[in-house]
Amino acid sequence: MLYLDHAATTPPRPEALDAMRSAGYGNPSGIHGVAREAKDLLEDARERAAALIGARPAEIVFTGGGTEADNLAVIGAALAAGASVVTTAVEHDAVLESAAFLRRMGHRVEVVGVDRMGRVDPERVAAATAAGPCVVSVMAANNETGVIEPVTDIVEAVRNVSSDAIVHTDAVQVFPSEPIDVDVLGVDLLTLAAHKFGGPKGVGLLYVRQGTKLEPLVHGGGQETGLRSGTQNVAGIVGMAAAMEAADADRERFRADVGEARRRFETRLAGIVEGFEINAPFEERLIQHSHIRIPGVRNDTVLIRLDRAGVAASAGSACQSGAADVSHVLLAMGFSNDRARECLRFSFGWTTTPDDGDIAAAAVLEAIAGLG
């Protein structure tokens, strides 16, 4: 299997698996030796994760994944401040559904559109922030197209209009190829998910800048400084920290190999497929994403043929990877339903070699033969 769906999930890195095997079984909330060992592993992982994004350990809240972290950020901040919400039309469902929930609870919600390449205008986001408390959530890079959003510019524009606004970014897709520094970004809240960079599924973190108030969504024993009750998944958290370190150390090699694979993939298809399109700005996108359109060819048919040929790809978000639903991201970018159903997402990752780009292009050409 040639796996080209890393944006959905990644194969676990050996470093993460090794760390998880040695994590033990203790409950870090206990007081005996086995529990203390688990607590030490937990806090060590917190320190390591914090260091990799320029945060303090106390600002890291471990969660059950990126979706939970997004919910805690958007809903937790809005409830704590009685705030309205400003977000964009291309966010992950975890953010959009959190905003929809808050709307049902009586909060004002403003959804800002994007241009035809999926880019958010910082001034439009800033203009949508109303007087009074506001939570702004704009993803660092889109999970479908890979488009990188100008988060730093958005934070600056929002602060110029509303100095007390709370800004969150879902950075789940970014970490494998781009370094993250929360102070450079200027955000108050930031989401990561372990399985997007070689860690285990079901583990994530939310960076919470010191002083940012959140209403917890999960109540109980008060773990994670009261923001996420429940016994922590120590093995998963240790695996996440190990995967973060491995991804950080591997980033230069990652960018070189993945960049070459994508270049070969797109160059070959562009030279052969009539009307071939890349649905993102050529430079303002993650190096691991290739979101393409092949005119006249349905993506569901191509995906079935690719799967039979041993190539794993997708039509977009893992939440919609069956291709039956039209991507809300593409609709927000102005695509018609028919045009959106001609789009495919190939996402490369840490297991990718440069030759994989050639292999993938050949597989696509074979899959579309006779179609259209």
Residues acting as catalytic residues = 319
**Cα gap 56→246, rounded to integer Å:** 20
Query: Which two structure tokens, joined as six digits, stand for 104?
Result: 């049902």
Q: What angle do CA 285, 92, 336 make, to 5 degrees?
A: 75
CB 329 within 8 A of CB 316: yes
**Cα gap 134→87, rounded to integer Å:** 10
Return the HEC string of the chain: CEECECCCCCCCCHHHHHHHHCCCCCCCCCCCHHHHHHHHHHHHHHHHHHHHCCCCHHHEEEECCHHHHHHHHHHHHHHHHCCEEEEECCCCHHHHHHHHHHHHCCCCEEEECCCCCCCCCHHHHHHHCCCCCEEEECCCECCCCCEECCHHHHHHHHHHHCCCCEEEEECCCCCCCCCCCHHHHCCCEEEEEHHHCCCCCCCEEEEECCCCCCCCCCCCCCCHHHCCCCCCCHHHHHHHHHHHHHHHHCHHHHHHHHHHHHHHHHHHHHHHCCCCEECCCCCCECCCEEEEECCCCCHHHHHHHHHHCCEECECCCHHHCCCCCCCHHHHHCCCCHHHHCCEEEEECCCCCCHHHHHHHHHHHHHHHCCCC
